[in-house]
């Protein structure tokens, strides 16, 4: 087998973020080297603590967690998503605290150091608001240019929004940052609502990894509140784990069918704020174009997630 690809997850845990982190830990194709946290589903201090606890649950409290931006770049966006993820972000579940503290380095510094020193290209999975990535581009452009692949969970090409009629949550939470990243010429895959909404994790799928052991059972417990929200918000009989699908594409490139498109973000202060304007009229050859995920095999993606999460208990048992 080839060497695992170094991976960074930039995240705002968040229920589906927690699943995404656990999926990465369960996947031998990647080596999770760093987690950076950002404001988003809940406040930064909480997303940082949640990331530490999730890594501890997965038996990997050795992975550094560097806290990033506490707010959006330009226009304050104090609205969080506690009604979706629970006020503490993990669906009302209190995971045991991590024995380690957060990394003293700010997220952009930790990211820049890793990118600058890695002998091989690093994949970055950005599954929260894009504030940290925009700051990295601005403050450490040479390090940012070394990103091998950037997989962004955010936006929507043709499905409208989930937090407003126009906007998907991660882009809406910092549209200026999203615009900077999605027009930056980084090698980016945009995993938006077009492919995440059809990918539904059913109750029987959750039951499979819940039965695998204590780690699987905790992952399933975290999902219960999300399950209730998904039924109401999306009318689905299961959970839409947006961030876990983005991680699947980060772990197994090509899982999703992508088309190269020009993408800009509506940064006006009106009703369209945070909308990703994906130009689907043409396939773009522009350097700044983004690979937009437009096709998914939902059953295969769900099976991948469930089988990987079902194997996590055995992995954690072996390392402890």
- Positions in 2-21 near ligand BDR (CB under 6 A): 14, 16-17
Please work out the total of residues on this chain that contact Ca ion, with binding judged by CB under 5 A.
Answer: 6
* Using rule CB under 6 A, residue 243 touches ligand BDR: yes
Stretch that binds ligand BDR, among 67-75, 165-173, 175-183, 247-255 (CB under 6 A): 165-173
- Positions in 32-51 near ligand BDR (CB under 6 A): 41
* Using rule CB under 6 A, residue 109 touches ligand BDR: no
- Positions in 52-81 near ligand BDR (CB under 6 A): 81
* Using rule CB under 6 A, residue 127 touches ligand BDR: yes
* Using rule CB under 6 A, residue 153 touches ligand BDR: yes
- Known catalytic residue at 242: yes
CB of 163 to Ca ion, least distance (A): 12
Of the pair 80, 143, the CB lying nearest Ca ion is at 80
From 17, 49, 103, 266, residue interacting with Ca ion (rule: CB under 5 A)? 17
- Positions in 168-197 near ligand BDR (CB under 6 A): 168-170
- HEC profile of the chain: CCCCEEEEEEECCCHHHHHHHHHHHCCCCEEEEEEEECCCCCCHHHHHHHHHHHHHHCCCCCCCEEECCCCCCCCCCCCCCHHHHCCCCCCCCCCCCCCCCCCCCCHHHHHHHHHHHCCCCEEEEECCCCHHHHHHHHHCHHHHCCEEEEEEECCCCCCCCCCCCCCCHHHHCCHHHHHHHHCCCCCEEEECHHHHCCCEEEHHHHHHHHCCCHHHHHHHHHHHHHHHHHHHHCCCCEEECHHHHHHHHHHCCCCCEEEEECEEECCCCCCCCCCEEECCCCCCCCCCCEEEEEECCHHHHHHHHHHHHHCHHHHHHHHC
Of the pair 128, 238, the CB lying nearest Ca ion is at 128
* Using rule CB under 6 A, residue 162 touches ligand BDR: yes
Name the site residues for Ca ion (rule: CB under 5 A).
Answer: 12, 14, 17, 127-128, 243
Name the site residues for ligand BDR (rule: CB under 6 A).
Answer: 14, 16-17, 41, 81, 84, 127-128, 153, 162, 168-170, 242-243
* Positions marked active-site: 242
């Amino acid at each position: 087998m080839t060497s695992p690809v170094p991976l960074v997850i930039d995240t705002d845990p968040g229920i589906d973020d927690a699943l995404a982190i656990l999926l990465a830990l369960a996947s031998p194709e990647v080596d999770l080297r760093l987690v950076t946290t950002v404001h988003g589903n809940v406040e930064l201090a909480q997303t940082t603590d949640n990331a530490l606890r999730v890594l501890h649950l997965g038996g990997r409290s050795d992975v550094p967690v560097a806290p990033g931006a506490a707010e959006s770049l330009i226009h304050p966006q104090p609205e969080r998503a506690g009604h979706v993820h629970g006020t503490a972000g993990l669906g009302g579940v209190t995971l045991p605290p991590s024995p380690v503290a957060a990394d003293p380095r700010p997220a952009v510094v930790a990211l820049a150091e890793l990118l600058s020193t890695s002998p091989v290209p690093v994949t970055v999975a950005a599954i929260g608001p894009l504030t940290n990535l925009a700051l990295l581009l601005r403050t450490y452009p040479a390090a940012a240019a070394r990103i091998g692949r950037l997989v962004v969970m955010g936006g929507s090409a043709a499905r409208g929004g989930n937090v407003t009629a126009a906007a998907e949550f991660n882009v809406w939470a910092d549209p200026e940052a999203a615009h900077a990243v999605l027009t930056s010429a980084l090698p980016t895959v945009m995993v938006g609502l077009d492919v995440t909404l059809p990918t539904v994790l059913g109750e029987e799928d959750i039951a499979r990894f819940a039965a695998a052991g204590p780690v699987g059972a905790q992952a399933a417990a975290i999902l219960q509140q999300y399950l209730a929200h998904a039924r109401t918000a999306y009318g689905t009989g299961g959970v839409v784990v947006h961030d876990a699908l983005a991680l699947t594409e980060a772990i197994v490139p090509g899982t999703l069918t992508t088309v190269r498109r020009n993408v800009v973000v509506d940064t006006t202060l009106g009703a369209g704020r945070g909308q990703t304007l994906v130009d689907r009229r043409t396939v773009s050859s522009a350097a700044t174009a983004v690979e937009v995920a437009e096709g998914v095999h939902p059953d295969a993606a769900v099976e991948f997630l469930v089988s990987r999460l079902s194997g996590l208990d055995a992995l954690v048992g072996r390392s402890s």
